[in-house]
Amino acid sequence: MYKLGIDLGGTKIEGIVLDQDSNILFRERIPTEQEQGYEHIIANINRLYQIMVQDINGAEHTLGIGTPGAISPRSGLLKNSNAVIMNGKPVLHDLEQALGRPIAIQNDANCFAMAEAILGPGKGMHMVFGVIMGTGCGGGIVIDGKVHTGLQAIGGEWGHMSIDPNGPECYCGNRGCIETFISGGGLTRMYAKMYDDPKPLPEVQKAYFAGESRAVEFFNHFFVRFGTAMANLIALLDPDIVILGGGFSNFEAIYTEGIKEVERQVFSDSLETPIVKHTQGDSAGVFGAAFVGI
């Protein structure tokens, strides 16, 4: 049976068709065009889906869709999406009506975790925790090849655990969320506030490796927070592996200085948990969507 996946992003919608061995048979991206409204996004997803179905001549298939945010089990509406035009909308209902079939929807962090668990370094492992360190900070849990969403569809939302009640205010309404300390967006805002210098984060990273004192000071602060956040995660779930994704996961010092801080803070006599970089890159979301399909 074919596996179809659609990844809804803020600027693009990507579709993929996989055969039973997860080989790519079709892949295409179209613009999201969210400025044209919610109904237009639904129509664009349907248009891409119909192209995918035509590619396999209408053969039997599963379908999964990855979105920012999650479907509320209470209301059936999308919540916690950074594509704010989608929040409060009956996305699952409207997509099933438009596409004329049942679908599975998972948030983008869960799709990332699923892809890395099936195709990446988490392959064959019992519990995989996937982290997205990008504009925000999301997480997903995969247990024995299945996404663990939890009772309220917030399983894995590690980025919104508070590690400092006096810390920066988060968009969720709390203070000191992990996201405010270790996401790319949070770090950019923090650097600008600490040094009154709105410098792009890649420039601060470059300055760190050049030994510039302010950048070294800033990232030393980050490593401690990263260690705290990761040690808390490991104490809670004790996963077999943690896989980091998102643009900021490419900051190589995470895998040296950051892991040293995890080792220092973890509630154990040693750190056995591998903390590794993703292997699927920006393909993870659409692959994961295909793997969660029904």
What pLDDT, on the 0 to 100 scale, is given for residue 174? 94
Residues with Cβ < 8 Å from 177, sequence gap 6 or more? 137, 159, 160, 161, 162, 163, 167, 170
What is the pTM for the complete model shown?
A: 0.93
CB hemisphere CA count around 19 (13 angstroms): 4
Write down how long the chain is.
Answer: 294
Residue 178 confidence (pLDDT): 97
Residues forming a β-bridge with 276: 243
**What pLDDT does residue 216 have?**
98
HEC string of 181-194 equals HHCHHHHHHHHHHH
Tokens (6 digits) for 29 = 């991206």
- Cα 50 from Cα 108, distance rounded (Å): 22
Res 167: pLDDT: 95
Q: What is the pLDDT of residue 82?
A: 67
Pairwise CA distance, residues 212 & 192, whole Å = 16
In the chain, which stretches have pLDDT less than 70?
82
Instruction: Return the pLDDT at 199.
Output: 96
Q: What is the per-residue pLDDT for 171?
A: 86
Sign of CA pseudo-dihedral 229, 233, 239, 245: negative
Domains in the chain, ordered, with CATH? Answer: 2-111+283-291 (3.30.420.40), 124-277 (3.30.420.40)
Reported as a single tens digit per residue, the pLDDT across 128-168 is 999 999 988 999 999 999 999 999 999 999 999 999 999 99
